[in-house]
Amino acid sequence: MKTRKLGPFEVSEIGLGCMSLSHAYGPPPPRQQAEAVLLGALDAGCTFFDTAAVYGLGHNERLVGEVLGPHRDRFVLASKCGLSRGERRELNGHPDVLKATCDESLQRLGVEVIDLYYLHRWDRRVPIEDSVGALADLVAAGKIRTIGLSEVSAATLRRAHAAHPITALQTEYSPWTRNPEVAVLEACRELGVTFVAFSPVGRGFLAGGVRDVARLDAGDFRVGMPRFQGKAFQRNLALLDRFEAIAREAGCTPAQLCLAWLLHKDPGLVPIPGTTHPDHVREDMAASQVELSAETVRAVEATVNASTVTGARYAAAMQASVDTETLPGEVLA
């Protein structure tokens, strides 16, 4: 596995997003299967694991801590605060809440320090400088090593970075979600902030994993996303057929094409695909070895882009909790 810089850390250029093992895509997989995903990623060379307090309301942090705890010296650990505390989902960026959430996360993870700690969402009721100041206090206390932000705009990143150096910013980025290209990627390069791309295979869609939305679990949050609904979904399926053809011509799987495309876009970018299947972990990590021609990159971008994808990234209620730039003509409904 090739590596990339993440602040003071050297990490595998493809990490693992652990959310789907506890949260968002229907019932979690059996414990044995979840363990196989985590340990399989580690064995495949992954040295960057991403979790959060909100994933399963603590379940994911406990899982990661119990399974990967014996191998703590082999990976960089990231978690998040500001979107959950206790036994209910709550957006709250107040300094006292962030510090309390960190203590709870440390206990669930079974560690003394978290390498990278993100503000999961910016609570606009609290100045970003105040929330980042609380995280800076956690750095000073030795409870976290570095600070990250999730789903914030370039302008908010600059304000936060002026208050305390920011190591990483994460948001959704894939061939079918290109919002970071508006301003955030440039701001990250200017400030020396690593960009971490979550949902890099289009929430499974570009990997060919969602061809029939009727088969999604009722608790799967993709059911409420505009791109997975009605005529929008049918139009997007036509894009998927062409995308899969490009992958075949490139000699890789569609998921690997997404990841290789991201790695090609920016040498400082780190994607964090997630999955519940051990076989998919090996497939994703192997994307580090895929080399794309300029012709293939052009074909991907001509086929899947803001003009060809139908439907907004989020429904309006979820979009209200994020602070990211929108693309020209994007409809947030």
Q: Mind listing the pLDDT tens digit for each residue in 57-86?
A: 999 999 999 999 999 999 999 999 999 765
pLDDT at 88: 64
**Which of the residue ranges 62-66, 88-92, 257-261, 328-332 would you say has the lowest mean pLDDT?**
328-332
Side-by-side strand order, sheet with 76-81: 16-17, 48-50, 76-81, 114-119, 144-150, 168-172, 194-198, 269-272
Distance, in Å, from the CA atom of 21 to the CA atom of 36, rounded to the nearest integer, reads: 11
Q: Give percent of the chain above pLDDT 70.
A: 97
Distance, in Å, from the CA atom of 81 to the CA atom of 104, rounded to the nearest integer, reads: 10
Domain borders along the chain are 3-205+266-289
Task: Name the average pLDDT for the chain.
Answer: 94
Distance, in Å, from the CA atom of 286 to the CA atom of 139, rounded to the nearest integer, reads: 34
pLDDT at 331: 46
Distance, in Å, from the CA atom of 292 to the CA atom of 46, rounded to the nearest integer, reads: 21
For residue range 163-204, list pLDDT tens digits in order: 999 999 999 999 999 999 999 999 999 999 999 999 999 999
Supply the CATH classification number for the domain 3-205+266-289: 3.20.20.100
For residue range 102-154, list pLDDT tens digits in order: 999 999 999 999 999 999 999 999 999 999 999 999 999 999 999 999 999 99
Element (H, E) at 64: helix 59-68
pLDDT at 333: 37
Calculate the CA 265 to chain-centre distance. Answer: 16
DSSP letters, 284-295, are: HHGGGG----HH
Instruction: Please check whether residue 157 is in contact with residue 187, taking contact to mean a CB–CB distance below 8 angstroms.
Output: yes
Per the annotation, the verdict on 173 as an active-site residue is no
pLDDT at 330: 53
pLDDT at 315: 80
**Which of the residue ranges 31-45, 210-224, 247-261, 268-282 would you say has the lowest mean pLDDT?**
210-224
pTM here?
0.95
Residue 259 pLDDT class (50, 70, 90 cuts): very high
pLDDT at 225: 92
Instruction: Please check whether residue 5 is in contact with residue 268, taking contact to mean a CB–CB distance below 8 angstroms.
Output: yes
Does the pLDDT at position 263 exceed 90? Answer: yes
Active-site option among 25, 55, 117, 118: 55
Mean per-residue pLDDT, 297-313: 94
pLDDT at 276: 96
Does the pLDDT at position 320 exceed 80? Answer: no
